[in-house]
Amino acid sequence: GWPILWIGVASILAAIAYTGGPFPFGYYGLGDFFVFMFFGPAAVIVTYFAHVQSLSPAAVLASLPMGFLITAILVINKLRDIDSDRKAGKLTLAVRLNTSGTRLEFLLLLMAAYLISLLMWLLEITSGWVMLSWLSLPLAISLIRAAWHVTGSQLNETLAGTGRLTLVYAILFSLGLIIPVL
């Protein structure tokens, strides 16, 4: 219906406006927020709604870890590029937060993803199977350590690892959501 179409159009416009147009919001510290919103809540909730024609607390909460983890990929990318972005006059959130603040943002995003799955279980929104996502925690811990000790182009491996973490977490989290239904 129309709401899904409008969200799709907004997603396309946001992708273009990230680095283009008169106000490229990615260069003004707003990229993290828009990446979170469009790759987390918008993508997951709209997909869920398109399939079942309703919303649920589980769908809303399930959208958050995905947004957090996709944003963490962006954060590591921006951590790597702080110096070049600063020189180019790009006022990304990472440039504004500096290295230590950006590392803290990365840590908080990863922690939030894991805490949401725990919250979903503790609030009995899903079964304990959702805790399968925590099997990816050793990977997250190694990425957090790397983010604190590595700089510049050496962060490329951490960037790739954050992408892998997102995939592994998403698979385990999804299995945790569907196993009780099987």
Q: Which residue ranges in the chain fall short of pLDDT 50?
A: none
Strand locations in 110-153 (E) = none
Task: Check residue 74 and give its pLDDT.
Answer: 95
Give the whole-number percent of the chain exceeding pLDDT 90. Answer: 71
Contact at 8 Å (CB) between 173 and 135? no
Q: In Å, what is the CA distance from 175 to each residue of 63, 66, 87, 118, 166?
A: 15, 14, 44, 15, 14
Burial of 9 (0-12, 13-18, 19+ CB in 10 A): exposed
Query: How many helices, marked H, and strands, marked E, lie in the chain?
Result: 8, 0
Task: Check residue 154 and give its pLDDT.
Answer: 93
Task: Check residue 182 and give its pLDDT.
Answer: 67
Give the whole-number percent of the chain exceeding pLDDT 70. Answer: 99
Task: Check residue 27 and give its pLDDT.
Answer: 81
Contact at 8 Å (CB) between 102 and 85? no
Q: In Å, what is the CA distance from 81 to each residue of 1, 50, 52?
A: 40, 37, 41
